[in-house]
Amino acid sequence: MDTLMILLGIVVFMLVLLSGLPVAFGLGFLAILLLSAYVGPNTATDIAVDKAYSAIDSDILVAIPLFILAAQLISATGMGKRLFSAAEVFLWRLRGGLGVATIGSSGVFSAMTGSSFVSSSTMGLIAIPELRKAGYGESKIAAAITAGGTLGSMIPPSIVMIVYGYLTDESISKLFMAGVIPGLLLILLYSLFMVFTGHAEHASPAQKPSQKKRHAVKEAFWGIMAPVIILGGIYLGIFTASEAAAVAVVYCMVIGFVVYRTLSLKSLWEQLMAAAVTSAMVTMIIIGGAILGHSVIFGRMPQEVLSAIISMDISPMALLIIINLVLFVLGMFLEVLALMYLVIPLLVPVIAHMGWDNIWIAVMLLINVNLALITPPMGGVLYVVSHIGNMPLSTVMKGALMPIAALIIVLILTLLFPSLALWLPSLT
């Protein structure tokens, strides 16, 4: 298959997605189309069915629906509200403190959910009214919520990293650890932006939060302990990523029913149904992506891409810059999982040929995935924030310029200093 055929396939894929067809069906449609070109439609269908079954026959993927359920339960228990209130109590005197509280709470919340959409929607509902009450401008509010939303897939546990580990057979625990330092750098940059561009919104004693610090910590304690238990257990080797997801679900149910008493059997059933719908959607995308990945490999596209790269005779740094630019452009038009299933099979032989560390490349891919979440026209977090905050999309896009700039800075730093991604995984 020549380069022209590859480009044609990508164009067809984008047209299918832009037509309004669900992502999973778009992936499957393109995959069967490619396979049919090689082996005929009947054989292509047989291969697709076989690959669909094998795609979900993995212990690693069990973690995804469990983390999705944990995210639903965390939202239902009110942990996010308690985390935000505690952060507000401690940061109310700080310039831009409420914005920093939003970023910090999003970081902790993300470490429990692994989902950018859950993080941005939950924190948006909690923080937007408070930010407006404090006098923040609409674009500044959008900046805080979109920035917090990017942490959902950056801060471990990350569903995106689970999928990457599944596709590349890389250690999930090491991938989780690789995202910690870049994630903390993002939180730092986001917070500095809020401090230097914010205002002392709680300057008067009358605006002082009603909660005392001790009470706020007590209320937020169980929410803070959730990521400690989940991530600590993974990093210490106590349980795998899938087991950690199961622990997260049980933990949230205990806190919801026994400690906070915000869960009932009715609300539990509602969260189970919501998680089931989301998990089914993700599973369909995984199946469609797996079939597409097989068709890409079947057509020797990775080898064609590798041959083209070798013939270019460019430096490794220049190649990395080109790859990141391509990922950035594709991320503007492709859904996150679709992007991963399209590019990872093409990247794997290139990574092996260049001798790059797979985990290092994973972190750069993850940063590009976060850029994809907040860059139009496909940036899903933009639409979530616009809907929840009742803001014009143009206002949200203006606010998103801040996290976009921060993500690009962290991407450049990770590119220049691989140890930012590799130091923590090297300790295991």
Question: What is the rounded CA–CA span in Å between residue 103 and residue 141?
Answer: 11
Q: Are 287 and 28 in contact (CB under 8 A)?
A: yes
pLDDT of residue 291: 76
Q: Which long-range contacts (CB under 8 A, 24 or more apart) does 361-365 make?
A: 362/161, 362/164, 362/168, 362/170, 362/175, 362/178, 362/421, 363/178, 363/179, 363/182, 363/414, 363/420, 363/421, 364/320, 364/324, 364/327, 364/411, 364/414, 364/415, 364/421, 365/164, 365/327, 365/340
Q: In a structure prediction context, what are the per-residue pLDDT tens digits for the chain, which is 428 residues long? A: 445 655 666 666 666 666 666 666 767 777 777 777 777 777 777 777 777 777 676 677 777 888 888 878 877 887 877 877 777 777 777 777 888 888 888 887 777 666 777 777 778 888 888 888 888 888 888 998 898 888 877 887 788 888 888 888 888 888 888 988 999 999 999 999 988 886 555 444 445 555 567 777 777 788 778 888 887 887 777 888 788 888 888 988 998 898 888 888 898 899 889 888 878 877 877 777 777 777 766 666 666 666 777 777 788 898 899 888 888 887 777 777 777 877 888 888 888 888 899 999 999 998 988 888 888 877 778 888 888 888 888 888 998 999 999 999 999 999 999 999 999 888 86
Tokens of 266: 């009715």
Query: What residues does each domain of the chain span?
Result: 59-426
Global pTM exceeds 0.75: yes
CA distance 422 to 179: 9
Q: Alpha-carbon Rg of the chain, whole angstroms?
A: 22
What whole-number distance in Å separates Cα of residue 69 and Cα of residue 55? 21
User: What is the token pair recorded at 389?
Assistant: 């905050």
End-to-end CA distance of the chain: 41
